[in-house]
Copies of this chain bind each other. A is one copy, B any other.
């Protein structure tokens, strides 16, 4: 296959991140987007925090109090049989679902792409009713000197929506509101217009029909989206038979738009694959990974906050090399690379 993991993996771990609040600890630093900014490699990372808790009988859930703008902690009785804690990420109650961690976005910078300096403070925090349970999994698309950030907003009141923000300096961020209704996530906006229109990959979740497929949508202004089409679906009998979602922002190659996506099996093993889309008609599929491009193998990919996961939001393509920054086991960030020619061979 010719995929090379860094020997320094994982390159960023929870120990590298300081919590945003004294009463929190870092549960994970993972799904990140990568972009070039001011001659450096910049990662916008999802940082998940959990409340400090020494009492195994209590399950603590952090959430945003929209009125005060502060985090509050909701307590559950971990021994209550009506509460389902079987998924380490969730607290499922008869009256609704919560997350065991709350995520914000944090920046890391590097000259060489492996050794990163991490900002002490969050870049973006949850701040409204749509973000009560956190903001997650950013993708950055660089268009006309503005960086557009699509990210997941999670709320027990409003579900999982996709919001858009933008920045020119990665210091101040302008919020543009919600661009996809619940439930949707994993939105990656193409880096240039195609025949005068913007396109975005996205992953709606049907409440009634259990489809977890990748769709493609069209826009004139990046805020209003329509002409929604189902692009690729989960595949019975394949590694991606459970759910799929876009990973990185697609990049242009001579052969077509290259999209690195994630797929999970029904057993929740998350792998990375690729799909090649027509350059002028990105809703047409040219090729798709029969086998995964990467699967969880290393200890740091198999064990963690939510194990057996490799998941990318961020790929940097430069001079024939596809640089993949990926979340491992919902805990840390790792790096791998593959030559484009090998990737195309994989998709032959």
Chain A positions within 8 Å of B, measured between CB atoms, are 96-97, 129-130, 155-161, 177-184, 202, 204-211, 213, 215, 217-221, 223-230, 233
Knowing A157-B230, A157-B233, A233-B157 are in contact, say whether A209-B225 is a contact too (CB < 8 A).
no
The CB with the most chain B CB atoms within 10 A, among A177, A207, A215, is that of: A207
- A156 near B209 with CB under 8 A, answer yes
Other than the known A157-B211, A181-B217, A182-B204, what 19 A-B pairs have Cβ atoms closer than 8 Å?
Answer: A96-B209, A129-B230, A158-B213, A159-B207, A160-B208, A160-B209, A161-B228, A178-B226, A178-B229, A180-B181, A180-B228, A181-B202, A181-B215, A182-B205, A182-B209, A182-B211, A183-B206, A205-B207, A224-B226
Q: Which of B182, B206, B225, B230 contacts A226 (CB 8 A)?
A: B225
Q: List 11 A-B contacts (CB under 8 A).
A: A96-B210, A159-B204, A159-B208, A159-B209, A177-B226, A177-B229, A181-B215, A181-B217, A183-B207, A219-B224, A224-B224
- A130 (CB) vs chain B CBs: closest residue: B230
Q: How far is the CA of A157 from the CA of B230 in the complex (A)?
A: 9
- A227 near B178 with CB under 8 A, answer yes
- A218 (CB) vs chain B CBs: closest residue: B224
- B159 near A228 with CB under 8 A, answer no
- A198 (CB) vs chain B CBs: closest residue: B224
- A220 (CB) vs chain B CBs: closest residue: B224
Q: How far is the CA of A115 from the CA of B227 in the complex (A)?
A: 38
The 9 nearest A-B residue pairs measured at CB = A159-B206, A224-B226, A181-B204, A224-B224, A205-B207, A207-B207, A223-B226, A178-B228, A182-B206
- B227 near A225 with CB under 8 A, answer no
- When all copies of this chain in the complex are counted, the total is 2
- Give the residues in chain B near A182, CB-CB below 8 Å: 204-206, 209, 211
- Give the residues in chain B near A218, CB-CB below 8 Å: 224
- A182 (CB) vs chain B CBs: closest residue: B206
- A160 (CB) vs chain B CBs: closest residue: B208
Knowing A182-B204, A182-B211 are in contact, say whether A220-B217 is a contact too (CB < 8 A).
no
- B181 near A184 with CB under 8 A, answer yes
- Give the residues in chain B near A97, CB-CB below 8 Å: 208-210
- Min CB gap A222→B, angstroms: 8
- Min CB gap A88→B, angstroms: 16
- Give the residues in chain B near A208, CB-CB below 8 Å: 97, 159-160, 183, 205
Knowing A224-B226, A225-B224, A225-B226 are in contact, say whether A211-B181 is a contact too (CB < 8 A).
no
- A226 near B179 with CB under 8 A, answer yes
